[in-house]
Structure 1
Amino acid sequence: MAHSSLRVFLLRSPDGGPSSDAAATAGDPYESLLTARLACTAVSIPTLAHVTVNVDVLVRILAERESEFWAVVVTSKRAVEALVEAWDRASKDDGAFTSTTAPLWRSKPLFTVGKATLRSSVPLGFSSPFSPEILPGNATLLAHAIVAHTPAPPVSKSILFLAGDKRLPTLPETLQSAGFKMEELEVYRTGPAPEFAEAIEKACASVEGEESGNVDGQEGGRVAGGGAGADPSAGEDRVRPGDPDWIVAFSPSGISVALSHPSTDIFARAKFACIGETTAAAVRKAEWTVGCVARKPTAEGVVEAMEVAMSGGGGGGGGGAAEL
């Protein structure tokens, strides 16, 4: 972990989960880019936990109601995971599903919000109407892309929309107002990660512990210096040396979890880099400081917005919040 005066906490698990092979070998893209570009200490904090629900209902839809739908919409990897689970169960429960019904489902377009969601759907064998390079990136843009792609929506069949309990209303409202029939099924629910409070304290303590030792460049219990993008105000408002200067927020749900933490002053003293305007609104409602808003909901978008904010420019804006 890099020694730097700038500390950044990310309100999310590392990409693929804290123990995934992908995270271990390739590194979390947000942590890697933040460390490389800002020479900071970046720590991911597991914030939300997801529970799959209504799998039995989805199994019945897959096995018995294929003819009622012309397309499937998923806006998160969690929704795809629920679809994969139901697909596997349908295959085991009904021998005819694999040979007869599954190919019919695969012939329907699968509309996804971004590259990660598309990649997670590959094992199912669906085809995407959009190439990975032009995937919309958020639910609002996806809705408009579906409307543009299908100027005459089928009147006798519906879109199967697999969503979470915290989904925003924009996508179904946009499609329904354009004449699309939709059937929505909640396939996962989001709640606080049980280890959140402990992870916050551990992150603060671990950084504090690194800086309390005899480290070159350390002054007064803190590490001096920082990268080219270092925030000149880093450390000014900390009560403990390990408290974060910046917090990257990915969803309103994550902000709700942070509000439940017994030491909300940790968040009140930091600046927030938000993945999109919806998340930024949740931060402002909590009366915390929005330091910047990413123009694109990606690691590059977040880091660029932070660089601009730290250099004294505007904090960006206009990014689309990821659904949770």
Structure 2
Amino acid sequence: MAGEVVYLFRAEAASSDPFATRLQAAGYHPLVLPVLSVVWRNTAHLQAALAHPEVYGGLIFTSPRAVEAVRRLGTPPAAWRWRRVYVVGPRTAAAARAMGWTPQGEEAGSGLALARLILQEPWPSRPLLFLCGERRRSELPEQLRTAGFPLEELVVYETRPATPVLPAGASAPDWVVFFSPSGWEAARSLPIKWKQVRVAAIGPTTAAALQEKGVAVMAVARTPTPEGLLAAIQEATSLS
């Protein structure tokens, strides 16, 4: 209910967090806590791949960080503009559009759903390049490879837990929200009464990973957006 304290375990703290802004507008008291640090991987390999767009039929991104791995290397050759680009979620889609691409799959809520969408499209003669994190879920590449779809995978970043610091005098949370499975590893050592707090996940992939670790998830956003998270929390609260 409005007035409750919500801890948002985000990758990094930003000056303006859209999830915190939306929750605050609805009467909640959000606190953004960064739980991850990012280490870039295989930069030289990625730069070499981007220099040869003729080798690939397109790109697959399932996280904004994978798009950031490309952006930080500068503007890719213009030929990439005419390659297919597939994404999961609106944040990844927005990052891809900022690079000049017109991505497909924005509404896909998971890698598995995106794989099914890709398989329904005409198959390219050249492989799609899947840029991902070290802890990526296996459903998308497994689904594509099982079908014989041409795919090349490259790990371009990894995330490492970074234990957040609670501000002095911070109120105990009524809700905690996880935006990635690895966020739990960073947050679990905090002095929070985990058995008393309600847990929300930004999507089904994160929820499934948390449940595999024995974390009870009470609310799952149907869309990985500020509105989707707010609706999930409000719905779960009304049913409790």
TM-score bucket of the superposed structures, by smaller chain? 0.7 to 0.9
- In structure 2, the CA distance between the partners of 1:310 and 1:126, relative to structure 1 (3 Å rule), is closer
2:219 maps to what in 1? 292
- Please tell me whether residue 307 in structure 1 is matched to residue 234 in structure 2: yes
* Larger strand percent: 2
| Deviation for aligned residue 1:285 | 4.7
- Please tell me whether residue 7 in structure 1 is matched to residue 5 in structure 2: yes
Q: Distance in 2 between the 1:251 and 1:72 partners?
A: 22
1:122 maps to what in 2? 97
| Deviation for aligned residue 1:286 | 4.7
1:68 maps to what in 2? 55
2:32 maps to what in 1? 44
Q: 2:206 aligns with which of 271, 279, 284?
A: 279
Q: Distance in 2 between the 1:187 and 1:69 partners?
A: 17
**CA contact 2:60–2:130 (8 Å) conserved in 1:** yes
In structure 2, give the amino acid aligned to 1:18. Answer: A
After superposition, what is the alpha-carbon deviation per residue over 1:251-302, rounded to whole angstroms, capped at 9, x for unaligned? 211112122x253x43333110122334334444554442222233322222
In structure 1, give the amino acid aligned to 2:18. Answer: P
Moved more, 281-290 or 77-86: 281-290
Q: Distance in 2 between the 1:268 and 1:258 partners?
A: 14
**CA contact 2:89–2:224 (8 Å) conserved in 1:** no
2:129 maps to what in 1? 160
- In structure 2, the CA distance between the partners of 1:7 and 1:127, relative to structure 1 (3 Å rule), is closer
**CA contact 1:268–1:289 (8 Å) conserved in 2:** no
| Deviation for aligned residue 1:83 | 1.1
2:199 match: secondary structure: strand
Q: How does 1:166-205 map to 2 (within 5 A)?
A: 166-193=135-162, 196-198=163-165, 201-202=166-167, 205=168
Q: Distance in 1 between the 2:205 and 2:64 partners?
A: 20
- Please tell me whether residue 79 in structure 1 is matched to residue 66 in structure 2: yes
Q: Distance in 2 between the 1:81 and 1:176 partners?
A: 26
**CA contact 1:84–1:124 (8 Å) conserved in 2:** yes
- In structure 2, the CA distance between the partners of 1:178 and 1:67, relative to structure 1 (3 Å rule), is same
In structure 1, give the amino acid aligned to 2:118. Answer: I
Q: Which runs of 5+ in 2 are unaligned?
A: none
After superposition, what is the alpha-carbon deviation per residue over 1:158-180, rounded to whole angstroms, capped at 9, x for unaligned? 11110001110111111122221
**CA contact 2:85–2:103 (8 Å) conserved in 1:** yes
- In structure 2, the CA distance between the partners of 1:18 and 1:283, relative to structure 1 (3 Å rule), is same
1:267 maps to what in 2? 194
- Please tell me whether residue 246 in structure 1 is matched to residue 175 in structure 2: yes
- Please tell me whether residue 58 in structure 1 is matched to residue 49 in structure 2: no
Give the length in aligned residue pairs: 239
2:158 match: secondary structure: strand
2:31 match: secondary structure: strand
After superposition, what is the alpha-carbon deviation per residue over 1:116-172, rounded to whole angstroms, capped at 9, x for unaligned? 222222354333356xxx63243222111111122xx234x2111100011101111
In structure 2, give the amino acid aligned to 1:31. Answer: A
**CA contact 1:49–1:192 (8 Å) conserved in 2:** yes
In structure 2, give the amino acid aligned to 1:52. Answer: W
TM-score of the superposed pair, with normalisation by structure 2: 0.87
TM-score of the superposed pair, with normalisation by structure 1: 0.66
Q: Distance in 2 between the 1:31 and 1:268 partners?
A: 24
2:78 maps to what in 1? 103
**CA contact 2:42–2:155 (8 Å) conserved in 1:** yes
- For the aligned residue pairs, the C-alpha RMSD in angstroms reads 2.4
- In structure 2, the CA distance between the partners of 1:284 and 1:140, relative to structure 1 (3 Å rule), is closer
Q: How does 1:201-220 map to 2 (within 5 A)?
A: 201-202=166-167, 205-207=168-170
Identical pairs, percent: 35
**CA contact 1:268–1:288 (8 Å) conserved in 2:** no
* Larger helix percent: 1
Q: Which runs of 5+ in 1 are unaligned?
A: 92-101, 208-241, 314-324
1:219 maps to what in 2? none
In structure 2, give the amino acid aligned to 1:254. Answer: G
**CA contact 2:203–2:220 (8 Å) conserved in 1:** yes
